[in-house]
């Protein structure tokens, strides 16, 4: 727990430009699925309040949100693929901008991380028909994962176009851009990884082939809204959602191509001393966002040390932002922090969502 005020020269408080995104500080709100959207994926007023409360972040990266109905991974996650959803995002963008913040939506296509009960009976899609081990939350409770349907080669341009359409809707709603979720075992990550990608066409096999679909989605979204409004999240070697990667060589190859396309930023989940992070940093000497994953707590002085060490330009922070709407102020003043309540992470109402007190409310109480 930090109890001393932050040095005003701290790298945490320095402005940063990520493509078209001009940030006031380098502490970003990491994407956090909270399952509070309406059942049909429409973002609601409660979410607008939640995000507006957290507008002090250098950049809010929203919860993972599906670019197409078949990409819905869990109950009550938002979508970005119809007019009502777009209107819901417009209310959120407005609320955050009114508070002086910046916000991009994370486009998360669940791929095989879903279930027919979540998809109105449809079968989840994936690079290959490889069922993940384990269970998934559905509207009817926890269920074993189902075997996904392998996407045909001739379907892939349409899937990429859905990402591009969602990116267009995001910007039309007034959001500042998008982050492609190519991490944590969801569809784009499933393509990158040989454990989940057994394809024999041009999208499977070699690292070049496994990177191809992610590159095409990056190109399609960049063409739709400008590369300088598109970021991407990667989790090299991450095992979440039953992933296994026999080598990480796809990542430097991919990072080089994303740099060529001119994306706004690359967001890496890794330990600060991970070898792969060093490799990616050499390719992205600027505009690299780090999240340390669950390996270590995102604590103020550790985050400042990461920035001072030069391995990243900004750090994304998850659970401390979940529990502290005014985290930047608290870290600046060295104030006490609210503790996150795990029981209310996924789903429910305002409790454990918009009712974490700000410092002013704590002082007044
Ligand atoms: C409740 C919860 C929901 C999450 N949802 C997402 C998500 O939608 N997309 C994503 O990329 N990561 C998601 N994550 C991972 C976080 O972005 C982050 O990597 C993780 O919490 C570790 O960072 P922290 O220690 O700062 O919390 C989630 C984590 C938590 C705790």
The pLDDT tens digits of the residues spanning 106-158 come to: 999 999 999 999 999 999 999 999 999 999 999 999 999 999 999 999 999 99
Q: Is the pTM of this model over 0.85?
A: yes
Number of neighbours of residue 42 by Cβ within 10 angstroms: 18
| Residue of 66, 21, 3 whose CA lies nearest to 225 | 21
To test the pocket of ligand 1, the residue of 27, 28, 30 to mutate (highest count of ligand atoms within 8 Å of its CB) is 30
Q: Which one-letter DSSP state was computed for residue 30? A: P
The pLDDT tens digits of the residues spanning 304-331 come to: 999 999 999 999 999 999 999 999 999 9
Let me know if residue 76 belongs to a domain: yes
Parallel/antiparallel/unpaired status of strands 125-126 and 103-107 = unpaired
- Calculate how far, in angstroms, residue 319's C-alpha sits from the geometric centre of ligand 1: 7
Let me know if residue 4 belongs to a domain: no
Dihedral Cα 180, 134, 29, 51, nearest 10 deg:
90
Three-state SS at 213: helix
pLDDT of residue 32: 98
Let me know if residue 315 belongs to a domain: yes
Let me know if residue 17 belongs to a domain: yes
Token representation of residue 268: 């890496």
Any idea what the CATH number is for the domain that residue 67 is in? Answer: 3.20.20.70
Q: How confident is the model at residue 2 (pLDDT cuts 50, 70, 90)?
A: low
208 in Cβ contact with 260 (< 8 Å): no
- Ligand 1, atom 2, lies closest to the CA of 32
To test the pocket of ligand 1, the residue of 33, 61, 266, 293 to mutate (highest count of ligand atoms within 8 Å of its CB) is 33
Task: Please work out whether the CB of residue 170 comes within 6 Å of at least one atom of ligand 1.
Answer: no
Let me know if residue 138 belongs to a domain: yes
The pLDDT tens digits of the residues spanning 73-83 come to: 999 999 999 99
In this predicted structure, the answer to whether residue 185 has a pLDDT above a threshold of 60 is yes
Let me know if residue 301 belongs to a domain: yes
Q: What does the alpha-carbon distance between residue 221 and residue 111 come to, in Å, rounded to a whole number?
A: 18
Question: How many separate domains does the chain show?
Answer: 1
Let me know if residue 5 belongs to a domain: no
The pLDDT tens digits of the residues spanning 6-33 come to: 998 999 999 999 999 999 999 999 999 9
Q: What percent of the chain has pLDDT over 90?
A: 96
Range of the domain at 229: 11-364
CA end-to-end span of the chain, whole Å?
21
186 among known catalytic residues: yes
In this predicted structure, the answer to whether residue 364 has a pLDDT above a threshold of 90 is no
Task: Please work out whether the CB of residue 293 comes within 6 Å of at least one atom of ligand 1.
Answer: yes
| Residue of 350, 340, 235, 218 whose CA lies nearest to 292 | 235
In this predicted structure, the answer to whether residue 55 has a pLDDT above a threshold of 80 is yes
To test the pocket of ligand 1, the residue of 27, 28, 31, 77 to mutate (highest count of ligand atoms within 8 Å of its CB) is 31
| Residue of 310, 343, 338, 303 whose CA lies nearest to 324 | 338
Q: What does the alpha-carbon distance between residue 324 and residue 320 come to, in Å, rounded to a whole number?
A: 6
Let me know if residue 1 belongs to a domain: no
Task: Please work out whether the CB of residue 128 comes within 6 Å of at least one atom of ligand 1.
Answer: no
Q: What does the alpha-carbon distance between residue 75 and residue 77 come to, in Å, rounded to a whole number?
A: 6
pLDDT of residue 363: 78
- Calculate how far, in angstroms, residue 294's C-alpha sits from the geometric centre of ligand 1: 8
Dihedral Cα 63, 69, 72, 74, nearest 10 deg:
100
């Amino acid at each position: 727990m930090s109890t001393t005020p932050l040095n005003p020269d701290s790298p945490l408080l320095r402005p940063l430009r990520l493509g078209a995104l001009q940030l006031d500080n380098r502490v970003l709100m990491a994407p956090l699925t909270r399952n509070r959207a309406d059942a049909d994926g429409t973002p609601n007023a409660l979410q607008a309040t939640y995000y507006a409360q957290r507008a002090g972040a250098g950049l809010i990266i929203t919860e993972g949100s599906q670019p197409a109905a078949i990409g819905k991974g869990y109950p009550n996650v938002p979508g970005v693929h119809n007019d009502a959803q777009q209107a819901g995002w417009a209310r959120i963008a407005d609320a955050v901008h009114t508070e002086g913040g910046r916000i991009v939506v994370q486009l998360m296509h669940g791929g095989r991380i879903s279930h027919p009960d979540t998809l109105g009976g449809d079968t989840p899609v994936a690079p290959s028909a490889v069922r993940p081990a384990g269970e998934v939350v559905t509207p009817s409770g926890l269920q074993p994962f189902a075997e996904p349907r392998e996407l045909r080669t001739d379907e892939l341009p349409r899937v990429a176009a859905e990402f591009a359409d969602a990116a267009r809707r995001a910007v039309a709603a007034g959001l500042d851009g998008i982050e492609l979720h190519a991490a944590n075992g969801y569809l784009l990550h499933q393509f990158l990884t040989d454990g989940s990608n057994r394809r024999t066409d041009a999208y499977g096999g070699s690292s070049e082939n496994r990177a191809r679909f992610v590159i095409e989605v990056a190109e399609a979204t960049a063409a739709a809204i400008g590369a300088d409004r598109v970021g991407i999240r990667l989790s090299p070697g991450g095992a979440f959602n039953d992933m296994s990667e026999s080598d990480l060589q796809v990542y430097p190859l991919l990072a080089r191509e994303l740099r060529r396309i001119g994306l706004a930023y690359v967001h890496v989940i890794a330990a600060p001393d991970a070898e792969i992070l060093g490799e990616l940093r050499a390719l992205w000497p600027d505009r690299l966002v780090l999240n340390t994953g669950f390996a270590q707590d995102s604590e103020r002085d550790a985050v400042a040390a990461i920035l001072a060490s030069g391995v990243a330009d900004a750090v994304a922070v998850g659970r401390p932002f979940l529990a502290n709407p005014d985290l930047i102020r608290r870290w600046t003043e060295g104030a006490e922090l609210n503790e996150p309540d795990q029981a209310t992470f996924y789903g429910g109402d305002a409790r454990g969502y918009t009712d974490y007190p700000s410092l002013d409310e704590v002082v007044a109480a």
